Chain A
């Protein structure tokens, strides 16, 4: 019986120099620019696309001639993956660039520390303090409701739930994940209308609307994280004579706390920019409202929307408000990262 020998490894006899891909890239860019100038006009998008194509063709051909077919495929794949990465980066970078570029003009300490009382027409003063406070209140209320509720529900689903109740809750969470935000706003609005009458307006209503949106997101991500905790760790804990609830608290939650923090932050980031339900439930105000349970309150997304709709100098405030919102989300992310770093399981080899 003949035994199939494994194929011998093919060695790369000649290798392109390290700088070769960059030279090819520069060459393709120059070639594309020249071609475009000859035929039509040079645009950034056109230059980018043509450079990408000619680079991929050139590097593959060159590598095939010099290095051989296998390395040509490798070069082609590298070119394609890099291209995909750059394409994915475009929206992110351009969004950041536009918001920072347009927002920085109106962004100042004054913007952060004043409200809109007595600002009319084309006055350039005024700020978003009231909206920042409103956003903190509304998102804070939503988080106070959603985070404990979401974490406990996820613990129930992963650690305790069985049978019908578990399946029912899972189904409800799935359905809730898909609720359009405007419907959540309508729901909160109606509930408070029925309970407190039409005159009642407060940050609380907005908080409840956002909580409806946020809870399923928290449940989903925490559930995911709890399932990642290996069963062996639970068993190790039980085998030491640790009761189930202590195992859940001190082993399961402790092991997954880094992931849970990240998940919760994503959920907050998801709702902090919600506009529609807030427009409907808390409306807009010009002044700082320190009472979360009474009166209209401004929030950053609604503030941005209103200012932008107004146009003119107010649009600058809209951009500055958008920048503020992004900065808040980034700060939250930073905190989440620090928390995860601190709690993450250490020393995986």
Chain B
């Protein structure tokens, strides 16, 4: 249930502006890949290209290749909707659907797609997904309450439950903990740790400790200056990256001696 992605020579543009340039990267299945780098270097931009969410932004486009288990994600005959069903995404800010209950939020991927599902199967899916997102015990008595009645951290885990309910192959997480307290953050980190048994996970984070704690491999993005494109400077096993990185810039960034 998890796939590898090989990215080669990827450029991302917003209109004429080259935001990310020349990325080569392999994302291993059943592992956590962390992306770090200073603000504005294109981590979110790059992450969105992995499930073609960049196409939602007017003027955004990519050149290059991203191959998931032999299938080119950008091939003209590939439907972006199909890609997004296989590559799920969790956003920086929790965004549950305000008109739906907690249970319906988890079932959103099924219900919004007009797929029929029996009551028993739906209940089972809700429980499995919420358990998977480490939220079941907190909400099992109020599944009919609106999703926006939860705390920020609970909402974020609800969004993770919603993303894993559609059983994607890959899960992209864009700074999922940036709005959360340390306890919710810890809960989500533990969750990431469990999820990697089943999913390929790519996580963007500004928190070095977090990258070191949760990830198997780390990629460092950097930008030379404003208006310049972001680049992948270095990518390696997390332990190597944090102990003896090959590039001086990486070491500076990780040790906080930056800019």
Residues of chain A touching chain B, judged by Cβ–Cβ distance below 8 Å, are 162, 230, 232-243, 246-247, 250-251, 254-255, 343, 345-349
CB neighbours of A347 from chain B (8 A): 98, 145-149
Q: Does B109 contact A (CB under 8 A)?
A: yes
* Contact present for B146 and A345 (CB under 8 Å): yes
Count residues of B near A (Cβ-Cβ below 8 Å).
Answer: 33
Q: Of B84, B88, B98, B109, which is in contact with the most chain A CB atoms at under 10 Å from its CB?
A: B98
Q: List 22 A-B contacts (CB under 8 A).
A: A230-B95, A234-B56, A235-B53, A235-B56, A235-B91, A236-B96, A236-B108, A237-B108, A239-B53, A239-B163, A241-B84, A241-B85, A242-B81, A243-B81, A250-B111, A251-B112, A254-B99, A255-B98, A255-B99, A343-B99, A345-B146, A346-B146
Tell me which of B89, B112, B145 contacts A247 (CB under 8 A). Answer: B112
Contact residues of B between 139 and 155, Cβ < 8 Å to A = 145-149
| CB-CB nearest 7 A-B residue pairs | A241-B85, A347-B146, A345-B98, A239-B89, A347-B149, A232-B95, A240-B109
* Contact present for B159 and A349 (CB under 8 Å): no
Tell me which of B81, B86, B91 contacts A232 (CB under 8 A). Answer: B91
CB neighbours of B166 from chain A (8 A): 240-241
* Contact present for B112 and A250 (CB under 8 Å): yes
CB neighbours of B33 from chain A (8 A): none
Residues of chain B touching chain A, judged by Cβ–Cβ distance below 8 Å, are 51, 53, 56, 58, 81-82, 84-86, 88-89, 91, 93, 95-99, 108-109, 111-114, 145-149, 159, 162-163, 166
Residue of B nearest to A247 (CB): B112
Residue of B nearest to A229 (CB): B98
**Distance of A240 Cα from B104 Cα, bound (Å):** 13
Tell me which of B56, B86, B95, B146 contacts A233 (CB under 8 A). Answer: B95
**Distance of A343 Cα from B99 Cα, bound (Å):** 8
**Distance of A349 Cα from B98 Cα, bound (Å):** 11
Q: Of B51, B91, B95, which is in contact with the most chain A CB atoms at under 10 Å from its CB?
A: B95
* Contact present for B146 and A236 (CB under 8 Å): no
Residue of B nearest to A249 (CB): B112
**Distance of A254 Cα from B159 Cα, bound (Å):** 19
**Distance of A162 Cα from B82 Cα, bound (Å):** 25
8 other A-B residue contacts (CB within 8 Å) besides A236-B95, A236-B162: A233-B95, A236-B97, A239-B163, A240-B112, A240-B166, A251-B112, A347-B147, A347-B149
